[in-house]
Amino acid sequence: MMKKFTVLKGIAAPLMVPNIDTDRIIRIERCAGIPRERQGEYMLEMMRLDPDGSENPHFILNKPPFREAKILLAAENFGCGSSRENAVWALMGWGLRCIIAPSFGDIFFGNCFQNGMLPIRLSAATVERLAAAIEADAGNAVLTVDLERQRILTAQGEEITFEVEPLRRRMLLEGLDEIGLTLEHEAEIAAFQNRDRGVRPWLYV
């Protein structure tokens, strides 16, 4: 089972760069030979690190308080490019659980739900306004994301609504991936197989 997602309160980091693709999130050569639990070390390394491997002091996630971010504010088409699931693993390995953007790469969007990450689509104007407010006052960078109520609460008390497809919302709230969802019907599957053995025994040799 995945970790349940109900209410997330944490620092939101603004990364308002359009078209950040999965190769930029984690390079292809990092996807093999590095265990899943360590892939967060390589998240956005081409942006976070200088060529000599030292931290880029200008990159948002290298600055306090954004080093501790649990929420990422992103620009349009976040997670475009290849279908690598490692991109979600790397973001979650860094500590992120929610990404708010105007749009996402389709496969990346689906991979988020399969791994317990909540991607939220909001209008570009709303995301830009949230990012600008946080950039102007990093001391008020905390957002509360309530999946059950489908509300985002800002540090200033503003509530912003969002929509998540009902089945995907339920899967996150209950910590279910597609396998877990299927296993909810384990008794019905077993009953079907028992009936089918009598009709087509040759399939079960």
Please tell me whether residues 124 and 30 are part of one structural domain: yes
Over residues 58-66, the mean pLDDT reads 96
Q: pLDDT tens for residues 137-167? A: 998 999 999 999 999 999 999 999 999 999 9
Q: Would you state the pLDDT for residue 151?
A: 98
Q: Would you state the pLDDT for residue 184?
A: 61
Please tell me whether residues 60 and 134 are part of one structural domain: yes
Over residues 49-60, the mean pLDDT reads 95
Please tell me whether residues 107 and 196 are part of one structural domain: no
On average, the pLDDT of the chain sits at 93
Domain that holds residue 182: 177-205
Q: pLDDT tens for residues 18-52? A: 999 999 999 999 998 899 999 999 999 999 999 99
Q: Are 133 and 160 in contact (CB under 8 A)?
A: no
Q: What is the pTM of this model?
A: 0.89
Please tell me whether residues 156 and 60 are part of one structural domain: yes
Q: Is 2 among the domain residues?
A: no
Count of domains observed in the chain: 2
Please tell me whether residues 121 and 205 are part of one structural domain: no
Q: Is 17 among the domain residues?
A: yes
Please tell me whether residues 197 and 127 are part of one structural domain: no
Q: Is 140 among the domain residues?
A: yes
| HEC letters along the chain | CCCCCCEEEEEEEEECCCCCEHHHHCCHHHCCCCCHHHHHHHCCHHHHECCCCCECCCCHHHCCCHHHCCEEEECCCECECCCCCHHHHHHHHHCCCEEEECCECHHHHHHHHHHCCEEEECCHHHHHHHHHHHHHCHHHCEEEEECCCCEEECCCCCEEECCCCHHHHHHHHHCCCHHHHHHCCHHHHHHHHHHHHHHCHHHHC
Q: Is 109 among the domain residues?
A: yes
| CATH assignment of the domain containing 42 | 3.20.19.10
